[in-house]
Amino acid sequence: MIRPLNAFMTSVAVYVAVTVALRHLTPPTPRLVAACVTAFTIAGFAMVVNDIYDIDVDRVNEPGRALPSGAISIRGAWVYALILAVVGLGLAAYDGVIELGLAGLSCALSILYSKTLKLRGLSGNLAVSYNVALPFLYGGLVVNKLSIVLATFFLLAFLSNTGREIIKGIAESEGDALRSVRTLARVHGPRVAAKFGSAFSLIAVGLSPIPIFVGGLSPLGYLPVVFVTDILFVYLSVKLLMDVSSAQSVKKLYKFPMLLAMVSFITGALV
């Protein structure tokens, strides 16, 4: 239910932010471990809560998931979500008051998204993307080294994930209709949604060189990897624009350039 790969990538994003902030690979200090576990559990909490509210939608879109398949009850899912939240917030409190506030805001936003914002389409997409991008700021806070380059990473992650969320709306239109979710795909059609989703991703591609100009990363370590990342984003955008029926496969493939982008952040910081 927690989508372990997604939750793990959230933890990795925190570690990437710390690595970029300190310019070296950091050993697992108590504060860093707490931050990474917080990221994992809060991301997992968001997934479980979303599954609870989306159980009818998932019966159509993802019938094999735990709730629609009957592997776990609604009550059991809420208990699971509560445990994840308590662990995440407790470790965030260990890291600091600001960290606790951000983790609490993330939990609240996840509930608000699943209950209300998701139904409004684009505003829901933006809420999810904020939570996805937040680890790049959170990691900087943990080591008291927020910077322009980390803010840039936050922006790039926010834009590219918003593109993916819009594309998910194309792939999941049939199930979304059960909750009357007003995605761009359902309100304006899949072709318009494909254009918007691709636009967000391509804007991120256009802004990807910024970390070099703000003095945050080594061009030698960053540019070769981010170039491949950008090529993948462009390829997926073109693929979607040429064939909107490919939205399901494009949605899944988007994780690869997003993961590769984090690799570019690390290589740019260490080389």
The string of pLDDT tens digits covering residues 230-240 is 999 999 999 99
pLDDT for the residue 103? 96
Is the pLDDT at 125 greater than 80, yes or no?
yes
Task: Indicate the pTM of the whole model.
Answer: 0.92
24 pLDDT more than 80: yes
- Rounded CA gap, 50 and 48, in Å? 5
Contact residues for 151 (Cβ-Cβ < 8 A; gap 6+): 136, 137
Q: What is the mean pLDDT of residues 188-212?
A: 95
Cβ distance 45 to 78 under 8 Å?
A: no
What does the mean pLDDT of the chain come to? Answer: 93
pLDDT of residue 271: 83
The residue-averaged pLDDT of 7-12 equals 93
Confidence of residue 74 (pLDDT cuts 50, 70, 90): very high
Instruction: With CA atoms as reference, report the closest residue to 87 among 46, 38, 142.
Output: 38
**Which CATH class for the 1-146 domain?**
mainly alpha
Task: Determine contact, residues 128/146, Cβ cutoff 8 Å.
Answer: no
Which of 194, 117, 131, 129 minimizes the C-alpha distance to 161?
Answer: 129
Of the listed ranges 10-14, 97-101, 112-116, 170-174, the least confidently predicted one is: 170-174
| pLDDT at site 172 | 87
Q: What was the pLDDT predicted at 12?
A: 93
pLDDT at 63: 87
Question: 200, 230, 175: which is closest to 50 by C-alpha?
Answer: 175
Decide: residue 31, CB within 10 A, 0-12 exposed, 13-18 middle, 19+ buried.
middle
Domain boundaries, the chain: 1-146, 148-271
> Confidence band (pLDDT; 50, 70, 90) for 126?
very high
On the question of pLDDT at 216 being above 80, the answer is no
**Which of the four pLDDT bands, split at 50, 70 and 90, describes residue 111?**
very high
Taking the C-alpha atoms of residue 37 and residue 32, their distance in angstroms, rounded to an integer, is 9
- DSSP-assigned states of every residue in 125-158: HHHHHHHHHTHHHHHHHHTT---HHHHHHHHHHH
What's the CA angle centered on 15, arms 14 and 17, to 5 degrees? 65
pLDDT above 80: residue 61: no
- pLDDT of 28 above 90: no
Percentage above 90 pLDDT, the chain: 81
